[in-house]
Amino acid sequence: MAKPSIFPSLSLALVTLLTASLGLMAPLAAAPAATPTPVTANPLLTESTLPYHLPPFDLIKEEHYTPAFEEGMAQQLKEVAAIVDNAEAPTFENTIVALERSGQLLNRVDAIFSNLTGANSNPALEAIDSAMAPRLAAHEDAIKLNSALFVRIQTLYDARKDLGLNRESLWLLERYHLDYIRAGAKLAETDKVKLKALNAQIATLQTTFSQQVQKEKNADALIVDTQAELAGLSDTEIAAAAAKAAKNHPGKYLLPLLNTSGQPALVSLQNRAVRERLMAASLARGSHGGPNDNRALVSQLVRARAERAALLGYATHADYQLEDQTAKSVKTINKLLADLAPPAVANARREAAEMQAIIDREKGGFTLGAADWALYTEKVRTSKYAFDESQLRPYFELNHVLIDGVFFAAHQLYGLNFKERHDLPVYHPDVRVFEVFNADGSPLALVLIDYYARPSKRGGAWMNAYVSQSELLGVKPVVANHLNIPKPADGQPTLLTADEVKTAFHEFGHALHGMFSHVKYPRFSGTRVPRDFVEFPSQANEMWRFWPEVLQRYAKHYQTGEPMPAVLLEKLLSTQKFNQGHETTEQLAATLLDQAWYQLKADQVPGPDGVVAFEAATLRRVGMDFAPVPPRYRTTYFSHAFAGGYSAGYYSYLWSEVLAADTTEWFKLHGGLTRTNGDRFRSTLLSRGGSQDAMSLFINFTGGEPQLEPLLQKRGLEQPPGEKKSSDYDG
C-alpha cells in the first residue's frame, strides 16, 4: 500500500509551526521586535566561506536568528517529508543516511546561537532563546514522534543483520532505533500529545532557569565600601574590584560571583565579616525571593521530568537517564556514592579539625564556617608544608600555561602544532583563534580560546563545537574552550590559580575529543558520547599539568622567566591529596542532590516552599549535612542539573574520574608522555566519538575493566581500618 504523507501524522502544534515558518501566520511565540532582514542579507542562511566554516561572527546580528531558525526548521521538515513519502522500500541510505543529512541549516544556526547564549549573551538573545526553546522542542517531537518515519526505521532495524552494514553504520541504525523509542515513538497518539506538551514545558523551564542563574549571579555580586575591608587581596585584585565597581558604584569595590558555592576571594580575605557576606550571597542565590528566585522552577521542572519518565515507562527520571549511560542503572550509581561518601566526609571533618585548631590558637573566638574554609586551608597548608597557593601564581601566567603547557603537552603527545589566527572574526575581543595542524602538517581544526569572565557569560567552564567533524558532510571541527578567569586591570598580568590551570587542561581534553573525531556520521561526532563518558578524556588530560617535562616548560616566573624553584615544585606535588576531603565532599553533596531530586516520582516532588527543606533533609539523611562544606552547587543555582544536559547525570564527573585515574596509571606504566601512547589513545578512543559502545572503547585502550582504587588513592580517600565502608544512601 502507499506510504502515508508526513503531514497527517504531524501534531497541530507542528502544523502551526510549519505554517509560521513559511510566513503564513504569526509565530507561536513572539520574538523581540526587529527590523526585517532580507533573506539575502542573513549570513546564517548560507554556509560560511571562512576557513573550517567558522561562523562569520562579525556579520551575524540578533535579528538574523529567528528567521534562520524558522527556515532551518522548515527545510528539515521538507527533508523528513521526502524520506517518509519515498515510494521505494526503506533502505539504510534513503532513510538513516538521509536523516543524518537532514537539518544542516538548523543545526548550524542552533550551534552558533546556543553557544553564544552561553558565551556572550544579551537581553535580545535571551528573549529569542525563551521564544525558540518550546518551538525547537516541538520541532524535534514532530520528527521523532512521526509514526510513518518510525515504521521505516523499525523495518530496517528488524532486518539489520541482513543489510551488510559495517560496524559504524550498524551502530548508527541501532542508535536511531533506540533514540526514537526513548523519544516516545511507540507511544499511543494520545500519549504523544501529552509528551509534546511536557517537552515544551521542560524546554521553557530549563531556559528560564539558566537565564535567571546568570542574572542572579550578576545581581548578587558583593559591593564592598572600603579598600581596608579587602585586606588580604593583592593590589591587582583590588584594582580589578575597583574597576568592576566604577560604572555603577564609583569609589567602591565589586567582588563578582562565580557559579560555584565557593568564591575565589575567600582564600585571601582577612575580614571575616566580608567573607561571611560573600559566602552568604553565594549560597542564597535563587532562593531568597525576587525576580530570579528559582524554587518554583525547580519544583515544576523536577515534576515535569518525572511525569515524562512515567509516561515513557520508567520509574523515575533518573532511571530514564541512566539506562542510556555506561553506568546503566540507578542502583550502580547509588552504590558508587555510598562507597565514596563516608571516607570523603570523614576526611573533611579531619581537615576541619586542623583548621579549628589554628583558629583556637589564634584566639579567633569562632567556629569554622563555610566562609572560613578556603582561608584556613591555606593556613594549614602553610603550617604543614611552609607553602601557600599564592606563591604559585607568579609561575602560572596565562599565556605560558596555554602555549607552553596545554599546547605543548598536546604537541608532545599527539604531534599537534598551533598557529594563532588574527585574520578571523570573533564574537568578543577577548577570544583568540588557533589553527591546529597534525604532525604531518595537514590541517585538523580551529580552536577558540575564551578564558576571561564577563557579565554576558554564564558561570563555569565548558567546551562546545561550532562545527562538528563528519566525513559524510565533509567538514572539519571548530571547537571552543571557555573558562571564567577574572580579568585583571589593564596592563596587569593574568596569573592563574592551580585550580584554573587544572581547568585549562581539563577543557582542552574536551577540545581534543572534538578535534580528533574521525567518524562518518554526525550523530557520533566528537563528544557525542554518553554523558558519563564525556568527562573522561578531559579528566585524563589533567594529568599532564604536573607531568615534569610539561610543568617545567610553562611554570616560569612571569617577570624573570625563572623556572619554579625545585623546593616550591616539591611542595606543590606533595600537596596533591591535600584538602581532598573538602573537594570530594562538596562534589558528592551536589551529586547526591541531583540524584535525590530525580529519583522522585511526580507525586513526591515538593512545592516551591519545600525546595530548600528537601535539600537540607537529603544532605542530613545521607550524612553530608556538614555546614563548613556546602554542596558545590546548591539546588537553586545548580545549572548542570536544571538547565544543562546533566540532569541525573552530575555523577558523571566522579564516574569519569574513575576511568581517568585508571588511564593515568596506564600512561605511567607505559612510558608516559610519548607519541606512541598518544597515537594509541587517539586512534583507539579519542577519534571514535560515539561510533562504538563507550565502555568497549575504554577497555580497548586500557585492556581491562575500570577499578575504583586508583581514584581513591588519587584523592587520598583510602579508608582507615575499622571505618564504616558505606553510607545508608539508597536513593
pLDDT at 413 > cutoff 80: yes
Q: Residues 116-158: pLDDT tens digits?
A: 999 999 999 999 999 999 999 999 999 999 999 999 999 999 9
For residues 46 and 155, membership in a common domain is answered with: yes
pLDDT reading at 38 higher than 70: no
DSSP 543: G
Band the pLDDT of 240: cuts 50, 70, 90: very high
The 3-state DSSP class for residue 243 equals helix
Same domain, 557 and 427: yes
Domain of 175? Answer: 7-186
Inter-CA distances, 618 with 295, 329, 596, 597, Å = 16, 20, 7, 9
Distance CA 155, CA 181 (A): 14
Identify the pLDDT of residue 24: 28
Residue 420: pLDDT band with limits 50, 70, 90: very high
Shared domain for 106 and 253, answered yes or no, is no
Is residue 600 in some structural domain? no
Whether residue 385 has pLDDT greater than 90: no
> In this predicted model, what pLDDT tens digit does every residue of 601-610 receive, in sequence order?
999 999 999 9
pLDDT average, residue stretch 3-21: 33
Handedness of CA 259, 265, 267, 271 (dihedral sign): negative
Q: Look at residue 367 in the predicted model and tell me its pLDDT.
A: 98
Q: In the predicted model, is pLDDT for residue 719 greater than 60?
A: no
Mean pLDDT of the chain: 91
Average pLDDT over residues 255-259: 91
Q: What is the pLDDT of residue 29?
A: 36
Residue that finishes a domain, picked among 239, 256, 284: 284
Residue 664 lies in a domain: no
DSSP secondary structure code for residue 717 in this structure: -
**Residue 568 in this model has a pLDDT that exceeds 70:** yes
**Same domain, residue pair 81 and 22:** yes
The three state secondary structure string of 120-175 is: CCCHHHHHHHHHHHHHHHHHHHHHHCCHHHHHHHHHHHHCHHHCCCCHHHHHHHHH
**H/E element holding 428?**
none
Is 28 a member of any domain? yes
Cα(90)–Cα(76) distance, rounded to whole angstroms? 19
Q: What is the DSSP string of 463-502?
A: EEEEE--BTTTTB--EEEEEEEEPPPPTT---B--HHHHH
Residue 341 counted as domain residue:
no
Contact between 531 and 652 (Cβ < 8 Å): yes
| Rounded average pLDDT over 696-712 | 88
Instruction: Give me the DSSP letters along 366-388.
Output: S---TTTHHHHHHHHHHHHHS--
Torsion of CA 173, 179, 183, 185, to 10 degrees: 20
Question: Is residue 18 very low, low, confident or very high in pLDDT (cuts 50, 70, 90)?
Answer: very low
Burial class (CB in 10 A: 0-12, 13-18, 19+), 164: exposed
Q: Which domain CATH number covers 471? A: 1.10.1370.40
- Indicate if 244 and 175 belong to the same structural domain: no
The answer as to whether 645 is a domain residue is no
Residue 302 domain-assigned?
A: no
Query: Is 242 found in the same domain as 159?
Result: no
Query: What pLDDT does residue 409 have?
Result: 98
pLDDT at 40: 54
Pair (56, 130) in one structural domain:
yes
* CA dist., res. 462 & res. 446, Å (int): 16
Among residues 186, 206, 228, the one where a domain terminates is 186
537 and 490 in a single domain? The answer is yes
- Per-residue confidence (pLDDT) for residue 258, from 0 to 100: 87
Q: Are 402 and 431 in contact (CB under 8 A)?
A: no
Widest Cα–Cα separation across the chain: 88
* pLDDT tens-place string over residues 512-538: 999 999 999 999 999 999 999 999 999
180 shares a domain with 242: no
Contact by Cβ (8 Å): 591, 649: no
Round to whole Å and give the CA distance between 410 and 396.
Answer: 18
- The pLDDT score that the predictor gives to residue 707 is 82
Residues 301-308 have a mean pLDDT of: 98
Do 180 and 254 fall into the same domain?
Answer: no
Mean of pLDDT values over 546-553: 94
Q: How far is CA 334 from CA 449, 560, 580, 597, in A?
A: 37, 51, 21, 13
Q: Which one of 160, 186, 212 terminates a domain?
A: 186
Residue pLDDT, tens place only, 478-501: 999 999 999 998 999 999 999 999
Same domain, 21 and 147: yes
Question: Residue range 413-417: average pLDDT?
Answer: 98
Q: How confident is the model at residue 176 (pLDDT cuts 50, 70, 90)?
A: very high
Examine residue 45 and state whether it is found in any structural domain, yes or no: yes
Residue located via cell numbers 553533596 = 589
Does residue 118 lie in a domain region? yes
Residue 569's pLDDT band, with cuts at 50, 70 and 90, is confident
Q: Which of 507, 542, 615, 657 is an active site residue?
A: 507
> Catalytic residue at 615?
no
Please list the residues that pair with 449 across neighbouring strands. 432, 481
Cell reading at 600: 522522585
Do 403 and 463 fall within a single domain? yes
At residue 711, does pLDDT exceed 90?
no
Number of domains in the chain: 3
Dihedral of the CA atoms 693, 696, 702, 705 (nearest 10)? 120
Share of the chain above pLDDT 70, in %: 93
* Tens-place pLDDT, residues 277-287: 999 999 999 99
pLDDT at 6 over 50: no
How high is the pLDDT of residue 31? Answer: 37
What's the pTM? 0.86
